[in-house]
Amino acid sequence: MNTTTTSPEATIVADEKLPIIRVTRDFAATPAQLMRAHLDPELYVRWVGPNGTEATIDVWDVRDGGSWRFVGSGQDGQEYAFRGCFHRIGTDTIVQTFTWEGMPEEVSLETVRFEDLGDGRTRLHGQSLVDSFESRDAWLRSGMEVGVNDGYAKIDQLLTEGAL
């Protein structure tokens, strides 16, 4: 399955040979600004997830080996908890696990790398590796692109506001 979804914001690609989802998106920001958006808990809760959701951080220990957990709540009043571990925090790369607590057996290994394009522009390269093609395809069918694109649009807004 080679599924490619391209929106005005992000490109989402399912690898044909591995159970990986790749996301690419350009920003009018520096790598340092995007690292801050991903690692500062006060900023993270302002952009993570689809429009109409709010996130609350329970644990946020940003270091190699540190853990994280947040709870998102939607307009329907339902709450969804997510957790994981920071495996490596580099100058332009974050490697972490990601688990939705509703399906704790489904753990993904996520890598986000920020490529400096010059002139204050950065390309985000995200990769989520799951344990099976079935899991990967379920993620793709879940509507994840809405949360990805809404969240990244909120980062654009934070940049416009000068919050980053």
CB neighbour burial string for 117-132, b if at least 16 within 10 angstroms, e if fewer: eeeeebebbbbbbbee
CA angle 109, 111, 115 (to 5 degrees): 170
Residue 113's Cβ-count burial label (10 Å; 0-12, 13-18, 19+) is: middle
Phi, psi of 140 (to 5 degrees): -65, -35
Q: How far apart are CA 23 and CA 2, in angstroms?
A: 14
pLDDT reported for residue 5:
41
CB–CB of 87/95 below 8 Å?
yes
pLDDT below 70 — which residues of the chain? 1-8
pLDDT reported for residue 94:
98
**Nearest by Cα to 150 from 37, 73, 51:** 51
pLDDT reported for residue 83:
97
Q: How far apart are CA 148 and CA 9, in angstroms?
A: 9
pLDDT reported for residue 8:
58
Torsion sign over Cα 63, 64, 67, 69: positive
What pTM was estimated for this model as a whole?
0.90
pLDDT reported for residue 9:
81
> Cβ–Cβ contacts within 10 Å for residue 4, how many?
9
